[in-house]
Amino acid sequence: MNQSVVPVVSPATLEIVPLGGLGEFGMNMMAVSWEDTTILIDAGVMFPDPDQLGVDLIIPDLTYLDTRRDQVKALILTHGHEDHIGAVPHVLPRFDGPVYGTAMTLALVEPKLEEHGIDAGDRLKTVKPRETVVIGPLTVEFIRVTHSMPDCVALAIGTPAGLIVHTGDFKIDQTPLDGEHFDLHRMAELGARGVLALFGDSTNIDRKGFTGLSRSPGSMPCSSSFGSTSASVMAVPYTGPSKSGITCGTAPM
C-alpha cells in the first residue's frame, strides 16, 4: 500500500512530529508546524553500538524535511551536546532559515559546519534567556535551565492553539558552575498561564534520588592533562542511561 510520508492535516492544525529522540537515546529532533510554518528543535546524532562496525554516527531520518523544504523556517537549539547538535551540518542545507542558539551552543556548532565545508553566513543567531523571537505565527521564548554543561535553555513556544513548553535537557542544579540558575520563576509563571503540552527531558527518570551537582563531578579521567597544558581546558560531563563520562578538550589561549 502506498502511503504518503507526510499525512494530510487541516491547515489550522498544530502538528508536532518527533523525528528522533523518543524511545531511544540520541538523535533528538522535533518538528513543530502551524499551517505553512515549521520550526525544528535540535538536530542531534546517536552514537553507534559496538556491533555497528564502520558506522561513525547515526542521524535522524530527514525525509520529513525534504517533503517540506519551503515550510521549514528555523532551527532552534537547546544546548550543545552531540545528541542535540551533531546533525546540524546535515540539516542546514535542507532549509534556508536561521539557526537560533545561545553563544556557547553556536560556538560548538561552528567548527562542525567548517568541517563539512558549510558557510552559514549570517544564519547563526545568538539568543539569551528571556529573549523571544517571532517565526511566522509562532513565538519562541528562551528560558534558562541548568544541565551538565553551561548555557542551556528550554523553550516556551506560543502557537495559535496554545502554549508548548519544551524543556530541552535539564537537571535542577542549585550550584551551577557558571552561576546561571534554573529560571524556576519563569517556569512557574508559564504554568500559571496555562500550558497546552509539556515535552520534558526524561533521561534517568527511572532512577531514584537526585542527580549529582556539577561542582562534584567525581574523578575526571583526563585530569592528569590539566597541569601539563598552557591552553584553556573544557570538561563537559555526559551521563546517559547506560554510560557516563567526561569529555575533555583544549583550545589555544
Q: How far apart are CA 235 and CA 228, in angstroms?
A: 15
Mean pLDDT of 61-76: 94
Confidence of residue 245 (pLDDT cuts 50, 70, 90): very low
pLDDT in tens, 118-145: 999 999 999 999 999 999 999 999 999 9
- What are the strands of the beta sheet with 99-101, ordered from one edge? 14-20, 29-34, 37-41, 72-76, 99-101, 124-126
178: confidence class by pLDDT, cuts 50, 70, 90: confident
> Largest alpha-carbon pair distance within the chain?
63
* 109 or 233, greater pLDDT: 109
pTM of the predicted model as reported, rounded to 2 decimal places: 0.81
Average pLDDT over every residue of 59-78: 93
pLDDT on residue 219:
43
Grid cell in block for residue 218: 567525581
* Domains of the chain, CATH where assigned: 14-203 (3.60.15.10)
Q: What is the pLDDT of residue 7?
A: 59
Rounded Cα distance, 147 and 115, in Å:
27
Cα R_g (the chain), whole angstroms:
19
Q: Residues of the chain with pLDDT > 70: what percent?
A: 79
**Which tens digits make up the pLDDT trace of 179-237?**
899 999 999 999 999 999 999 987 777 788 777 666 554 544 555 555 566 666 666 55
Query: For residues 39 and 41, what is the distance between their CA atoms, to the nearest angstrom?
Result: 7
Top pLDDT among 27 and 37 is at 37
